[in-house]
Amino acid sequence: MILIRNPWGRNPWDLEPPMWYTQSMKPNVDQPWPILPLDWSPISQRWNANGGAFVSTLLNWTSTDSATGKFWITLEDFLARYASIFICRIPSSFKTTLRDHWSFAGPNRNGGVLTGPTGHLNPQYTITVLHPVSLFVTLTQNSSNDISNLKYIMIALLPNHGIGMLKPLVQEDMEEKGFHFSGKPQRQQQVSMDIDLIHPGTYTVVVCTFDIGSECDFCLGVYSTSENSIEKLNRMDDE
């Protein structure tokens, strides 16, 4: 059994779907209408059948809980109705946080994809890791709530003693032990790197857009699960 909460306060298997839900849903062969309650959803008759009181006690469930959008669902029903899961990080769960706001604009700040001829002309940072630790690194672009302005962005960490990225990335650089990147550039508000273990040393962090000359504001965030494990997130070539 899985407990889920819809932050809007309702769910498709509630007493009566809200008006916006009924208007946006169209009956078809794959979706009977009205929606039938799932086992153990708030209006399921299973709660009143044999064993229902025991399950209610076991799950610490009362009918008033459904008013907050909570509902129980069996693993089988969950797998049949949900295609993917997204895990949202909670910044307050990290012991150490370093952030900096900058822009893809001006000299040495918008050289495009890192493997391109001007890939080394992008915003760069040095960061010092004091002892072995896991890191979560994010690059968030400011689209001013207009998703049509989102750029294809990417972030990389180079184990090169913080000397900076002096030339475009080549395959040899990416095969270096300790190299990490967020994957191919994505047209998303945020991309990230989840580094399970990084050893002490000074590293270079480079951020980029896919297209040369793209301009937008961004925030770089570095999060650690340990206190006093990282320091000195310094800008390079800040002219």
Q: From the first residue on, what is the mean pLDDT of each consecutive set of 10 residues in the chain (239 residues)?
A: 81 56 56 70 87 92 78 91 81 87 89 95 96 94 79 96 94 94 93 94 96 94 92 83
Residues 172 and 225 in one domain: yes
Residues 135 and 215 in one domain: yes
Residues 118 and 203 in one domain: yes
Residues 203 and 166 in one domain: yes
Count: domains in the chain: 2
Residue in 152, 235, 221, 135 with CA at minimum distance from that of residue 189: 152
Residue 184: what pLDDT? 92
Residues 192 and 232 in one domain: yes
Residues 135 and 63 in one domain: no
Residues 97 and 67 in one domain: no
Q: Is residue 112 part of a domain?
A: yes
**Rounded CA gap, 143 and 8, in Å?**
25
Residue 20: what pLDDT? 46
Q: Is residue 86 part of a domain?
A: no
Residues 40 and 76 in one domain: yes
Residues 229 and 150 in one domain: yes
List, in order, residues 6 or more apart from 135 with CB less than 8 Å away. Answer: 129, 193, 195, 198, 222, 223, 224, 230
Q: Is residue 136 part of a domain?
A: yes
Q: Is residue 87 part of a domain?
A: no
Q: Is residue 122 part of a domain?
A: yes
Residues 25 and 46 in one domain: yes
Residues 135 and 174 in one domain: yes
Q: Which domain holds residue 158?
A: 92-236
CATH code of the domain containing 130: 2.60.120.380
Residues 74 and 99 in one domain: no
pTM for this model (two decimals): 0.69
Amino acid, single-letter form, for residue 60: N
| Domain closes at, from 49, 81, 113 | 81
Q: Is residue 62 part of a domain?
A: yes
Residue 33: what pLDDT? 59
Amino acid, single-letter form, for residue 204: T
Q: Is residue 176 part of a domain?
A: yes
List, in order, residues 6 or more apart from 112 with CB less than 8 Å away. Answer: 118, 119, 122, 208, 209, 210, 211, 212, 213, 214
